[in-house]
Chain A
Amino acid sequence: MSSNLKTLFWLFVLLLIFFAMGCQRSKAGITVAGSTSVEPFAELLAEEYMHRHPNSHIYVQGGGSSAGIEAIRSGAAHIGMSSRSLIGKEKTLHTITIAKDAIAIIVHPKNPVHDLPFVKVREVFSGQIRNWNELGGPDQPIVLVTREEGSGTREAFQKLVMGEEDIALEALVQDSNGAIRQVVAGDPSAIGYISLGLVNEKVKALQISGTTPSIKNIESGQYHLVRPFLFVFLLEPAGEAKTFLDFVMSPEAQKLLAQEGLVTALSKSTEK
């Protein structure tokens, strides 16, 4: 073989060796997978945790509440994140509520409507009310924005608000809370729902039947569009997973979550 080719060949072998070395299955650290609503908060907590424990690795992964639960079952993840309560067969798993999150109904800041009776929210999202002028707003068709099927947030919204009724088929669908926020922030006729913790100055959260979605009202139970953020485990939490969990339930971590707009699990609030 020519010398050029020989060098290349050995370079290739070297790369393969390097590659093989990098393939140690023992991925140090733990994987946390599941709800994309919980994901940004878990990432924040993981960042803080890894700050304090420099040798740990926490990998936070989205995929949705259902996927997260499946992941801990298959062993792909150590901790599952869920933004809805467990149902049916899932109830055999261990869950810890790490925080409570409210669902806020959001509109564009320029939208004159700032309060909606609870029943009207359902009528809007089911497509029965189609124009803002029916709600005291301008003569504009309502643009609905919802999460995609399978999302924990959508399921929580479905359960808490829609009940038996379907969300209208013509609703725009976005695959993350942030994306819904983006759409609503850009369209004066849009209405959508996101995690209260993600509401910022670009959108306006509506009062529901006169109740503002605030931490106080959530804790008192007055604002009842609330869902639990859960960490789900296959077995009793142990090892690194338990250390991380302990950190998440500690006052400093809970304060971090409260700063981001969640209701801490440490406060007294009515179970939903």
Chain B
Amino acid sequence: MRIDRTRYLTQGIAKILIWSATLFTIGVMILILFQILSDGLPVLRLHFFTESPRSMGREGGIFSTIIGTVALTFVAILFATPLGVGTAIFLREYTRETKVSRLIRFGTDCLAGVPSIIFGLFGFVFFVIYLNMGWSILSGGLTLAVMILPTIICTSEEAIKAIPYSYREVSYSLGGTKWQTVTRAVLPHSLPGIFTGVILGVGRSIGETAAVILTAGSSLVMPTSFFSPIRTMAVHFYILAREGISMEMAYGTGAALILLVLFVNIIANWLLNRYIRKKG
């Protein structure tokens, strides 16, 4: 009977420890967000979003950085989506588990693990220098496209995988070619899932800093073309935070960044649950 009590004692202690650990973890995470949001939210007035930074970021707002973030993300999505969805279609519809498909999956998984500073180095030496694009939205966007490619491939594959085979069966039995099957039976229904992957990619692009500084530069001026350098919100936040130019602006930019990322990811999660997890 003594043995019994020890077992339950151990269990009790273990459970208390686990509850405490979890609460501690959640607590710290919330604390981190709360600290920045509480100091930053008061700064988020309308003019903060509509004015560009002035005198090195001490005054004004973050408008040009918002444009920069949008432009960079736009370019990244423009290039990553067709490549990513195409890869997913290939893996799911046009091939079985062959050496090639295993290689592609391995490549994708590896790409997903490459650190952002390596992407930055690559983007710098390839896009900025070798292809002579200079520090520009284009260089930054293309670099980000490579970074988010694995995300889009993964989610698109899941979305396509979730379509029951019966959809394809019907199309084939009606005499459809593979291409017709893909474009009429499979893709239209996997669009929401693909869209989710795109949103996740957007979320990742918004928060990326290391790769962006090395490829898109840090100019505060409004861009005039896709070859202009820009500063994104994440980069602006980093620079403000480190240089101590204006703590107020830093907190504001940080709060805006957090809110944006949270918003994007909440939408992605909602879509994910609605269209992928529930199917099949």
Q: Is A1 an interface residue (CB 8 A)?
A: yes
Q: Do B225 and A59 touch across chains, with their CB atoms under 8 A apart? A: no
Q: Is A257 an interface residue (CB 8 A)?
A: no
Q: Is B75 an interface residue (CB 8 A)?
A: yes
Q: Do A58 and B243 touch across chains, with their CB atoms under 8 A apart? A: no
In the bound assembly, the distance between CA atoms of A5 and B187 in angstroms comes to 8
Q: Do B224 and A23 touch across chains, with their CB atoms under 8 A apart? A: no
In the bound assembly, the distance between CA atoms of A31 and B223 in angstroms comes to 12
Size category of the binding interface on chain B: 20 to 34
Contact of B221 (CB < 8 Å), options: A46, A62, A176, A177: A46
Q: Is B242 an interface residue (CB 8 A)?
A: yes
* Max count, chain B CB within 10 A of own CB: residue among A8, A15, A47, A74: A47
Shortest Cβ distance from B180 into A: residue: A1
Chain B residues, CB < 8 A from A210 = none
Mark contacts of A10-23 with chain B using CB atoms, 8 A cut-off: 1 yes-contact digit, 0 otherwise.
00100110010011
Chain B residues, CB < 8 A from A62 = 218
Q: Which of A168-193 contact B (CB under 8 A)?
A: 174-179, 181-182, 185
Chain B residues, CB < 8 A from A179 = 242-244
Q: Is B277 an interface residue (CB 8 A)?
A: no
Given that A5-B188, A16-B78, A27-B225 are known contacts, is A40 also in contact with B56, CB under 8 Å in the complex? yes
Q: How far does the Cβ of A130 sit from chain B's closest Cβ, in whole Å?
A: 27
Chain B residues, CB < 8 A from A57 = 221, 224, 228
In the bound assembly, the distance between CA atoms of A177 and B226 in angstroms comes to 30
Q: Is B219 an interface residue (CB 8 A)?
A: yes
Q: Is B227 an interface residue (CB 8 A)?
A: yes
Contact of A19 (CB < 8 Å), options: B134, B226, B244: B226
Q: Do A176 and B82 touch across chains, with their CB atoms under 8 A apart? A: no
Chain B residues, CB < 8 A from A44 = 55-56
Q: Is A138 an interface residue (CB 8 A)?
A: no
Q: Is A29 an interface residue (CB 8 A)?
A: yes
Q: Do A59 and B221 touch across chains, with their CB atoms under 8 A apart? A: yes
Q: Is B229 an interface residue (CB 8 A)?
A: yes
Q: Is B220 an interface residue (CB 8 A)?
A: yes
Q: Which of A44-72 contact B (CB under 8 A)?
A: 44, 46-47, 50, 57-62
Q: Is A128 an interface residue (CB 8 A)?
A: no
Q: Is B47 an interface residue (CB 8 A)?
A: no
Chain A residues, CB < 8 A from B74 = 15, 19
In the bound assembly, the distance between CA atoms of A40 and B246 in angstroms comes to 14
Chain A residues, CB < 8 A from B184 = 1-2, 5
Q: Do A1 and B183 touch across chains, with their CB atoms under 8 A apart? A: yes
Q: Is A4 an interface residue (CB 8 A)?
A: yes
Q: Is A25 an interface residue (CB 8 A)?
A: yes
Q: Is B154 an interface residue (CB 8 A)?
A: no
Q: How far does the Cβ of A4 sit from chain B's closest Cβ, in whole Å?
A: 5
Given that A12-B82, A16-B78, A178-B245 are known contacts, is A25 also in contact with B219, CB under 8 Å in the complex? no
Q: Do B188 and A2 touch across chains, with their CB atoms under 8 A apart? A: yes
Given that A19-B226, A40-B56 are known contacts, is A178 also in contact with B243, CB under 8 Å in the complex? yes
Q: How far does the Cβ of A151 sit from chain B's closest Cβ, in whole Å?
A: 14
Contact of B229 (CB < 8 Å), options: A43, A59, A181: A59
Q: Which residues of B contact A (CB under 8 A)?
A: 54-56, 74-75, 78, 82, 129, 134-135, 138, 183-184, 187-188, 191, 217-221, 224-229, 239, 242-245
Query: Which 8 pairs across A and B sit closest by C-beta, in order of nearness?
Result: A178-B243, A182-B244, A22-B226, A179-B242, A59-B219, A2-B188, A1-B183, A40-B56
Extra contacts besides A1-B183, A2-B184 (10): CB < 8 Å: A2-B183, A12-B82, A15-B78, A23-B227, A25-B227, A26-B225, A28-B224, A61-B217, A61-B229, A182-B243
15 A-B contact pairs sorted by A residue (CB < 8 Å): A8-B191, A23-B225, A23-B226, A27-B228, A43-B220, A46-B221, A47-B54, A58-B221, A61-B217, A62-B218, A74-B129, A76-B135, A176-B242, A176-B243, A182-B242
